[in-house]
Structure formats: structure tokens, C-alpha cells
Amino acid sequence: MPVTLTTTTSEHSTRLQSILENQLYAVELLLDIARQKRDALLARDRAALERLIPLERAHLQRVREYEEERFACVGEERLSALIDRLPPEEAEGLSRTSTRLLSLLQRLDDINQQNAGMIVHSIAHVRTLIRAVTGESHDAGTYSPTQGIADGAAHAPVRSLVEWRV
């Protein structure tokens, strides 16, 4: 049952601070794993990726568990609203930790977006190579050896595979 901290006790804010610090540590580990995944993607190191995926899942599970603990402690109340009601000496530590946690989560999201982008581009490159090797028809936005750009624009002779993608 969530504890509404209308009259916040030192015990509750200490518990919440501990939960946030645990989340912070787990997110730092996830951030490190995301960086390692980026390096493995750039190095095309499949073994490293296969080793990192289970670690990432385990740390994600920990973050979920800490979030459930936080929810059990304060319910659906926003952390910023709770911090506003705390005495300054208790609010300062929680505010600092929550700001750092938010910053780490944003960096983690950025790196994950970059990693996803690399994967998407790699898949598109492989598909283009497969189409070039197998002679499959070309979709919109590609050059065709016979008609130039596939949407019917003027003929542009193909001189290399690189020119096939717009």
C-alpha cells in the first residue's frame, strides 16, 4: 500500500533516497552496457553483443524492481511534487539524486537511439546489397539501371552500387 507523504517523516524520505540511489546505480550500469553495445556494434563484435544482452536484461529488471519499490513508497505522486513538500534538508538530497537520475536516463536514451540507428542502417545496407546481388526490383527512392530513379524521373546511368540509393 503506497504511503502518502503528506507529513513526510525522515524515515520515508530516507527510504525513498535509498531507492533512488539504487535506481541511479542500476541506470549507471545500463549506461555502461549501452556504451559497450555501441562499441561492439561499431566493431561488428557479435560475441560481445550476445554477452551484453543478458546483462542488460538483468539490469533492466532491477530498475523495474526499484521503480516498483518507489511506487510502493509514494504511489503515483510525482517526485517533484513530493520534493516541494519536504523540509529543505531532506529535499536537497532527493532533488540532487532525482536530477542525476533523469540526466542519466536521458543519456541512456540517446545512446540507445544511436545504437538503434546503427542497426537500422546496417539492415538497410544489407537489404540493398541483397537486392543488388539477386537482381530484385527496386523500390521507390532507388536508381534502376534501366529507368533512372524508380519514380520515373529522367534516366541517370548507374556507375556503381553506391549510386543506387538516393
Domain assignment of residue 145, yes or no: no
Largest Cα–Cα separation, the chain: 76
Q: How far, in Å, CA of 4 to CA of 6, rounded?
A: 6
Alpha helical stretches, state H, 135-161: none
- Domain residues for 51? 10-118
Specify the pLDDT at position 160: 45
What is the β-pairing status of strands 148-149 and 143-144? antiparallel
Distance in Å from the first CA to the final CA of the chain: 57
- CB-CB contact of 138 with 131 (8 Å): yes
- CB-CB contact of 105 with 112 (8 Å): no
In CATH, what number is assigned to the domain containing residue 102?
1.20.58
The pLDDT tens digits of the residues spanning 94-125 come to: 999 999 999 999 999 999 999 999 888 888 88
Domain assignment of residue 154, yes or no: no
Residue 152 has pLDDT above 50, yes or no: no
Whether this model's pTM surpasses 0.85:
no
- Calculate the alpha carbon distances from 48 to 4, 43, 53 in Å: 44, 10, 9
Specify the pLDDT at position 21: 95
Domain assignment of residue 108, yes or no: yes
Number of domains in the chain: 1
